[in-house]
A and B are shown apart, each in its own frame.
Chain A
Amino acid sequence: MAVAEESHFGRAAARLGMAQPPLSQRIQRLERELGVRLFERTSRQVTITKAGSLLLDEARELLARSEALLAAARRIRDGESGLLRAALPPDIAGETVAVILRDFRHRHPGVELELHELSTAQQLGRFASHDLDVGIVHHPCDVAGLELGPVLRREVGVLLPRGAPEAALAEVPVPALTGYDLVLFPRAGAPALHDDILTACARNGYTPAAVRQGQGSSFVRGLILSANSVAFSPRDAQSAHAAEQDPDVVWRPLAGSPLTWRYSVAWPQGHGDTAVSAFAEAATNALLESATVSTDAPASPLYLRPTAEYWL
């Protein structure tokens, strides 16, 4: 499958973490065993034959089923002392991580939890390669092949210079941000989320003249203080640091809560066993404990345009 997907023995071998000669030999052996030529080889690339492409779907299904079988066998063999590979995104508060761990151990004392700090893109990659059982992903992301727990929302507000006129308001209307540049994380990290945020800003009357890249909190703070900029940040990130209040930058909610960060627990379709469910419940409950997380969807209309091609 790797050779078919990469169309190249060298790249396929690198992806599988093996050397090229043994991979070529194994393909040849497989072709002899099946009595079917799977690939056409030229000096520059490898292309799958028609026979090969006919077998590809079956091979893919076989591989996924064998992975599932191995995972099930591992859990059965280990009884309640199995291993659950789980991931959390880097922006989950430390207290929340602790609550999840405590709750999960309480629900499933025998299962060992192997916890990783991974971005959404990293988690999707590991789901695809069967190296992760469950995780918390940010939306929007490609959810093909995944099952999801409830979608949770964190309210997002704006960071402003304390001296700005808008800082005097209890909540800031989005159009009032006009005239400020916006500091946002680098687009390459999460293009869909980046574009969703700018679309939500535009929809609510704020189209920043410039979008500046910034992620680290002191760098973002510097831009807010010196470069006529604002940035977005979730409410809970502020309350966590309320004690060490910033003398120069303030956080204000946005009027009408037009921006939310959304996330949910995710696991590969058909692989939701009891340990996965226990983690999903523990994580969802822990996140819901923080007062600013909600599961309510905003009640905005959705107008499908004729180019949508489908109609409900």
Chain B
Amino acid sequence: MTDTTGRIRAAFAEAGVTGRLHAVDIDSGAETGVDGDHRVVTASVHKLCLLVTLHELAAAGRLDLTERIECPADTRTAGPTGLAAMLDPVRLSLRDAAYLMMAVSDNAAADILLERVGLDAVNRTTARLGLARTHAVHTFGQFLATIKEDAGPGGARSLTDPRVIARLRALDPARTNHSTPRDMTRLLGAVWRDEACTPEHGAAMRRVLGLQVWPHRLASGFPFDDVHVAGKTGSLPTVRNEVGVVEYPDGGRYAVAVFTRAASTAAVLPPADAVIGTAARLAVDALRGR
């Protein structure tokens, strides 16, 4: 196991990132990790907590996932994908908004759902599931607003300036939505074992987690047609995260949470994305080799 953690640390260093990881065998509970209890910034990974909250409320009969919701064009949260990138008013079901939130990390879809359920409900759900070190302090729109404010008049261009990076509140776990790698694998384990919700809702959550489109992080570590990867990414300047579940045809299933911070401020940094898959694979191979 020491060899595994050593290799994971070396992979992070080689990719120019500071990385935290926790991986657990969903059925046996065997685990491995590198700084797995370190408090980390979740960014869009927190959309997973919102998804579970939504299904929990639906299971309790507090809302109907087929209920239609309006996403007006002028007040929606900004983002490069999904409703956030669309120009005209949209009307869709809660569960389709949840699909967009998970598949393409749609910030507008996430915030209309968050408006519907409330931030407190999300924190109640994570607390109920025993994620004692996971907390959401603001919506995705508020969260993006802090970046805009801290970046100053230079806008996105100034995010390559190390001095701007050092002052972003969005990168300080004490002042933004946060969790730990271990809390996130615990949440995924609960979703996969149908402990978070009823089996029917569990299956719905697993379906949308499996529909995420990004291939460059967790999935890149498992280039095998017969291995299923489901997950949710989170990204910010210098931050690249993904939490997910890797399932093998022999029934082995592993929850993995990887949170990284790159030294380089470059927005495009393929090795920092890929090392999430590399590190996850090292961890999963070690758990499978036991």
Do A309 and B18 contact each other (CB < 8 Å), given the known contacts A148-B162, A264-B162, A302-B267? no
Q: Determine if B16 and A304 form an interchain contact, defined as CB atoms under 8 angstroms apart.
A: no
Contacts A56-B37, A310-B236; is A305 near B132 (CB within 8 Å)?
no
A196 to B272, CA, bound (A): 13
Contact B264 A143 (CB under 8 A): no
Q: Which of A21-29, A46-54, A236-244, A245-253 lies at the interface? A: A46-54
Across the interface, name the chain A residue whose C-beta is closest to B180: A53
Chain A minimum-CB-distance residue to B183:
A53
A256 to chain B, nearest CB (A): 18
**Smallest Cβ-Cβ distance to A53: which chain B residue:** B37
Tell me the smallest distance from the CB of A192 to a CB of chain B, in Å: 4
Residues from chain A with a CB closer than 8 A to the CB of B233 are 307, 309
Closest to B13 in A: A191
Cα–Cα, bound, A55→B28 (Å): 26
CB of B133 within 8 A of CB of A143, answer no
Interface stretch among B52-60, B77-85, B88-96? B77-85
Known: A191-B15, A310-B144. Contact between A305 and B268, CB under 8 A? yes
Q: How far is the CB of B120 from chain A (nearest CB, A)?
A: 21
Asked if residues B261 and A309 are in contact (CB atoms below 8 Å), the reply is no
- Tell me how many residues of A have a C-beta within 8 Å of chain B: 50
Distance from A47 Cβ to chain B, minimum over Cβ atoms (Å): 8
Distance between Cα atoms of A193 and B237 in the complex (Å): 17
- Is the pair B166, A53 in contact by a Cβ cutoff of 8 Å? no
Closest B residue to A196 by CB, please name it: B264
Question: How far is the CB of B38 from the nearest CB of chain A, in Å?
Answer: 8
A304 to B85, CA, bound (A): 13
Contacting chain A: which of B66-74, B111-119, B151-159, B191-199? B151-159
Among residues of B, the one whose C-beta sits closest to the C-beta of A299 is B157
Question: Are A311 and B264 also in contact (CB < 8 A) when A45-B1, A191-B16, A306-B80 are?
Answer: no
Residues on B with C-beta less than 8 A from A171 are none
Which residues of chain B are near A299, meaning CB under 8 Å?
157
Q: In the complex, what residues of A have CB within 8 A of residue B236's CB?
A: 309-310
| B37 and A151 contacting across the interface, CB-CB below 8 Å | no
A58 smallest CB distance to B (angstroms): 11
A309 touches B105 (CB 8 A): yes
> Which of B35, B166, B273 neighbours the largest number of chain A CB atoms within 10 Å of its CB?
B166
Q: Which residues of B are found within 8 Å of A309, using beta-carbon distances?
A: 43-44, 79-81, 105, 107, 233-236
**A interface footprint on B234-256 (CB within 8 Å = 1, 0 otherwise):** 11111000000000000000000
A-B contact count (CB 8 A): 141
A5 at the interface (CB under 8 A from B): yes
Does B261 lie within 8 Å of A53, measured CB to CB?
Answer: no
- Contacting pair A312 B84 (CB below 8 A): no
Instruction: Determine the distance from Cα of A218 to Cα of B2 in the docked complex, in whole angstroms.
Output: 40
User: Does residue B182 face the partner (Cβ distance < 8 Å to A)?
Assistant: yes
Rounded to whole angstroms, the CA-CA distance of A47 and B33 in the bound complex is 10
Whether the Cβ atoms of B163 and A310 lie closer than 8 Å is no
- CB pair A312 B37 closer than 8 Å: no
When C-beta atoms are compared, the residue in chain B nearest to A312 turns out to be: B156
List residues of B (183-230) whose CB comes within 8 Å of A's CBs: 214, 216
- Cβ-based interface call for B39 (8 A): yes
Q: Is B160 an interface residue (CB 8 A)?
A: yes
| Cross-interface CB contact of A307 among B84, B214, B263, cutoff 8 Å | B214
Say yes or no for B171: interface residue by CB 8 A criterion.
yes
Cβ distance B184 to chain A, nearest Cβ, rounded Å: 13
Can you list 25 pairs linking A and B with CB atoms under 8 Å apart?
A5-B38, A8-B2, A44-B1, A47-B31, A53-B132, A53-B133, A139-B263, A140-B162, A140-B265, A142-B18, A142-B261, A143-B166, A148-B163, A151-B163, A191-B13, A191-B16, A196-B266, A199-B266, A269-B166, A302-B156, A307-B216, A309-B234, A309-B235, A310-B107, A312-B151
Write the residues of chain A forming the contact surface with B, with a CB cutoff of 8 angstroms: 4-5, 7-8, 44-45, 47-48, 50, 53-54, 56-57, 139-144, 146-151, 188, 191-193, 195-196, 199, 262, 264, 269, 297, 299-312
Not counting A53-B132, A148-B166, A151-B162, a sample of 10 additional A-B residue pairs whose C-beta atoms are within 8 angstroms of each other reads: A8-B2, A142-B261, A148-B162, A151-B163, A299-B157, A302-B156, A309-B105, A309-B235, A311-B80, A312-B78
